[in-house]
């Protein structure tokens, strides 16, 4: 797939699936703009792929999201693809989730997707074309115990994706979501009582995933690139599950 001459903005591009997505688009020739809150990691990935300075800030801030889109336009003159990958998790049931944790998860995972997308559709409408790919989750569709805020936030992302896809289909803008299963990222290991070892993570994949292993972030990133390509020209409002059979049961 050829993205030469295309501008792609990736939130959460400093690590995990966001970094993998930035690398895949850069390899396809795109001008990539990385947005993240982590300065050292974002700068490292940006330098690796030749993306220029990352745009640093919090996607939960609507004014920052407007500035991030403006920065992409200032650098490259257009915005062809937005990938909303930034996200956080809080591991607890409802009784164990304090107000501030609930609000923070919703602010990053839902508000951030909305604010970035709202900012992006304005130049995309003027261009008459654009693509947004959101990061949902299998847990936005089937739920899981011990991560109530995360599940609620990803369910919201799924329906936000559907609603915005219908709102903007006549504008030439396609909006879809990827719904990953268990992926070997820093988020998967985070927030647990004891940090998992590589062997723990390997066993997790063997125990819970029908394919018997965790996904590599690049396996998810390649689907994101496909959804942004002309190969997916008839797809909008879709939730694309990438879970090695997890939800097939």
What DSSP string describes 125-163? HHHT-EEEEEE--GGGTS--TTBHHHHHHHHHHHHHHHH
What DSSP assignment string belongs to 11-27? ETTTSHHHHHHHHHHHH
Q: Tokens in use for 57?
A: 């800030």
What pLDDT score does 12 carry? 98
Nearest 5°: the CA angle 125, 130, 132 is 115
Single pTM value for the model: 0.96
Q: How far is CA 106 from CA 12, 95, 111, in A?
A: 15, 17, 6
Task: Give the burial class of 69: count Cβ atoms within 10 A of its Cβ; 0-12 exposed, 13-18 middle, 19 or more buried.
Answer: buried
Average the pLDDT over 164-191 and give the result: 94
- What DSSP designation does 215 have? B
Asked if residue 194 has pLDDT above 80, the reply is no
What are the residue numbers of the active site? 150
Across the range 156-177, mean pLDDT stands at: 98
Least confident span in 58-62, 186-190, 232-236: 186-190
pLDDT score, position 191: 79
Neighbours of 231 (CB within 10 A): 11
Residue 236: Cβ-neighbour burial (10 angstroms; 0-12, 13-18, 19+): buried
What is the mean predicted confidence (pLDDT) over 168-180?
Answer: 98
Q: What digits encode the pLDDT tens for the residues 56-95?
A: 999 999 999 999 999 999 999 999 999 999 999 999 999 9
The mean pLDDT value for 239-247 works out to: 97
Percentage of the chain surpassing pLDDT 70?
100
Spell out the domains of the chain, with CATH numbers in brackets.
7-180+215-240 (3.40.50.720)
Residue-wise pLDDT for 198-225, tens only, equals 898 999 999 999 999 999 999 999 999 9
């Amino acid at each position: 797939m050829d993205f030469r001459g295309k501008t792609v903005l990736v939130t959460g591009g400093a690590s995990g699936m966001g970094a993998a997505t930035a690398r895949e688009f850069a390899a396809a020739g795109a001008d990539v703009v990385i947005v993240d809150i982590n300065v050292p990691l974002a700068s490292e990935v940006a330098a690796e792929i030749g993306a220029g300075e990352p745009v640093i800030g919090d996607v939960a801030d609507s004014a920052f999201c407007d500035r991030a889109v403006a920065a992409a336009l200032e650098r490259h003159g257009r915005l062809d693809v937005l990938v909303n990958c930034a996200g956080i998790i809080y591991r607890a049931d409802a009784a164990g989730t304090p107000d501030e944790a609930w609000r923070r998860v919703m602010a990053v995972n839902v508000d951030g997707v909305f604010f970035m997308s709202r900012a992006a559709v304005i130049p995309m409408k003027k261009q008459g074309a654009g693509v947004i790919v959101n990061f949902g989750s299998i847990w936005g569709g089937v739920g899981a115990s011990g991560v109530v805020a995360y599940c609620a936030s990803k369910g919201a992302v799924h329906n936000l994706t559907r609603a915005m896809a219908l709102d903007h289909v006549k504008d030439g803008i396609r909006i879809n979501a990827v719904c990953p299963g268990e992926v070997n990222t820093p988020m998967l290991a985070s927030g647990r009582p004891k940090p998992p070892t590589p062997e723990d993570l390997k066993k997790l994949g063997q125990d819970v995933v029908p394919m018997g292993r965790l996904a590599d972030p690049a396996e998810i990133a390649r689907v994101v690139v496909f959804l942004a390509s002309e190969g997916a020209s008839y797809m909008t409002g879709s939730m694309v599950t990438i879970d090695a059979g997890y939800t097939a049961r």
